[in-house]
Amino acid sequence: MTSFDERDASIALPGDPAYVAATHVFNLAAPVTPAAALTARTVGQIRAGLTYARSAGLNVRVQTTGHSSGSAKPMAGSILIRTELDAAVEVDVERRVARIPAGTQWKAVVEATSAHGLTAPHGSAATVGVVGYLLRGGISFYGRQTGLAANHVRGIELVTPDGDLVWTDADNDPELFWALRGGGGGLGVVTAVEVDLFPASTVVTGAAFWPGEHAKALLTLWDKWCRDAPTEVSTSFRVLNLPPFPGVPEVLSGGTMICVDGVVLGQQGADDAIALGQADDLLAPLRAVAEPVMDTWHLTTPQEILATHMDPDEPVPAQGDHFLLTELGDDAIDEFVRVLGAGSESPLVMAGIRQLGGALAEPSSSGGALDHITEPYLYSGAGIPLDADVSAIINDRLELARAALSPWDSGRTAPTFIESPDQPQSHLTPEVVARVDAVRARLDPKGLFRGDVMKNTTAL
């Protein structure tokens, strides 16, 4: 491995403009303050960062967009490597595979694949980094039909703690390949992934909004529909208290609103009327409760899915909580509406329930450390902590919601929804944790990447 040379990489220290750029995160409420930082655009720069870490007695942390900075452990005593590899998305249409360099955001992948009538198991936000989302087990709006995003990864290129550039897949160090997919990180610096694609030329997507007073009736009907919903459809039910921010329609920022959004994945060669009918099966009973104040559900292409969830494109402060639910039912619905619905004075900008099940609940014979989630629903809630007082009010409401929904809290979580390292979280069994630990011990016996391991995913 080459020795560290200032010409190989710009190691930035606090106060340097390059440090500010390398440590920039999407969640402004969770800034990161490592001892040093580096924006790496080449494998050589990553190696230089590892050499610098050893010479300075630092451990190594890795990030791209910083959407998950809230869940990261403190970075004191670390060098942060921000991966922004200089390469483009490559689509192999015949194999239905995309090679995606680290640092790529989902918008670029969807644009590259849609031109060929294909797509990947992407998230709901255009600006989320692909590698972190995939390897942490992202849950796509296609997930009920296609399973966890990590199951679609077919190969991974990474720089190991020793500085070696290696390729791992089902035939090349399969144990490392298994551990990288959902094992909690801390195994090196990923530089590229190959991911399976699937046909998706048309979809039905959108969001419908109602005044908050209809929450109970709408949630009851949504829960009833979810129990026998076709796997081509993935949806979420959200209570919104949107501030009058730029880009927020005026009709949605006047108080508590209810939103039902999602995606119907059209099947290859099938009539579009089938997908439209599946959407109508969900929406017709809801629309009968009350006329939506805004309704954008329509037949379109996969590119528009990235706007469906109305995730912000620019960095914002966020403070939230998350856990998985064993069921809903009348009692759970009553509690959800009581503490988060209209009249509850909830300070949360969003509190919602994501529909899981289908292929998401099915183990994959070729999957990694996390290959399925058995629970049928996912709860998450978040507010915007403008100052310490608001943060305390948000935290109180998050704790109230957790207590109210505790009878249906499974005790498990989905890694990409974790908002804080201090919150309860668990997604791997002790047996899986021990197996991943063995891979870490082999690759990184000195613990250079120990700070990058997610909470509750290691016994070491």
Give mean pLDDT, residues 445-457: 87
Determine contact, residues 180/168, Cβ cutoff 8 Å. yes
Give me the phi and psi of 216, to 5 degrees please.
Answer: -65, -45
First to last CA, the chain: 27
Where are the alpha helices (H) located in 368-454, listed in sequence order? 388-404, 430-443
Residue partners of 239: CB distance under 8 A and separation at least 6: 212, 215, 256, 257, 258, 259, 340, 341, 346, 348, 350, 351, 352
Look at residue 457 in the predicted model and tell me its pLDDT.
65
From the list 141, 179, 86, 391, the residue with the least C-alpha distance to 263 is 141
Domains and their CATH numbers in the chain: 17-83 (3.30.43.10), 90-199+428-452 (3.30.465.10), 203-417 (3.40.462.20)
Give mean pLDDT, residues 434-453: 95
Lowest mean pLDDT among 299-303, 374-378, 430-434: 299-303
pLDDT in tens, 91-101: 999 999 999 99
Coil, helix or strand at residue 402:
helix
Dig out the tokens for 94 from the structure. 């015949």
CA distance 377 to 242: 23
Look at residue 458 in the predicted model and tell me its pLDDT.
53
Residue 1: pLDDT above 60? no
Look at residue 394 in the predicted model and tell me its pLDDT.
97
CA distance 57 to 257: 51
Mean pLDDT of all residues in the chain?
93
Total-model pTM: 0.93
Look at residue 379 in the predicted model and tell me its pLDDT.
98
From the list 213, 214, 237, the residue with the least C-alpha distance to 225 is 237
* DSSP label of 27: B
* Higher per-residue confidence, 71 vs 236: 236
Lowest mean pLDDT among 266-275, 285-294, 333-342, 445-454: 266-275
Label the pairing between strands 118-119 and 198-199. Answer: antiparallel
Residue pointed to by tokens 């007073």 = 213
Look at residue 6 in the predicted model and tell me its pLDDT.
40
Give mean pLDDT, residues 59-83: 92
From the list 449, 410, 414, 455, the residue with the least C-alpha distance to 49 is 449
Kindly indicate the confidence band of residue 229, based on its pLDDT and cuts at 50, 70 and 90. Answer: very high
Give mean pLDDT, residues 320-332: 97
CA distance 438 to 459: 10
Dig out the tokens for 53 from the structure. 């870490």
Kindly indicate the confidence band of residue 433, based on its pLDDT and cuts at 50, 70 and 90. Answer: very high
